[in-house]
Amino acid sequence: EVQLVESGGGLVQPGGSLRLSCAASGFTVSSNYMSWVRQAPGKGLEWVSVIYSGGSTYYADSVKGRFTISRDNSKNTLYLQMNSLRAEDTAVYYCARTVPTYFDIWGQGTMVTVSS
Amino acid sequence: EIVMTQSPATLSVSPGERATLSCRASQSVSSNLAWYQQKPGQAPRLLIYGASTRATGIPARFSGSGSGTEFTLTISSLQSEDFAVYYCQQYNNWPLTFGQGTRLEIK
Name the residue facing B46 among A60, A103, A109 (closest C-beta): A103
Mutation pick from B46, B52, B85 vs chain A, by most beta carbons of A within 10 Å, is B46
Residues of A in contact with B55 (CB under 8 A): 104
Residues A81 and A17: beta-carbon distance below 8 Å:
yes
Number of H helices and E strands in chain A, helices first, is 0, 11
The whole-chain average pLDDT of chain B stands at: 97
The pLDDT of residue A100: 83
The pLDDT of residue A66: 98
B103 exposure class (CB count in 10 Å sphere: 0-12, 13-18, 19+): middle
Identity at B44, one-letter amino acid code? P
The pLDDT of residue A79: 98
3-state secondary structure of B26: coil
Instruction: Report d(CA A28, CA B93) in Å as an integer.
Output: 26
Residues of A in contact with B2 (CB under 8 A): none
For A71-102, the pLDDT digits (tens) are 999 999 999 999 999 999 999 999 999 998 99
For B82-91, the pLDDT digits (tens) are 999 999 999 9
Task: Using 70 as the pLDDT threshold, list the residues of chain A that sit under it.
Answer: none
Query: Please, which residues bridge with residue B14 across strands?
Result: none
Tell me the residues of A at the B interface, defined by beta carbons under 8 Å apart. Answer: 35, 44-47, 58, 60-61, 94, 101-104, 106-109
Query: What chain B residue is nearest to A60 in terms of C-alpha separation?
Result: B95
Residue whose C-alpha is closest to residue A38's, from A94, A84, A82, A86 = A94
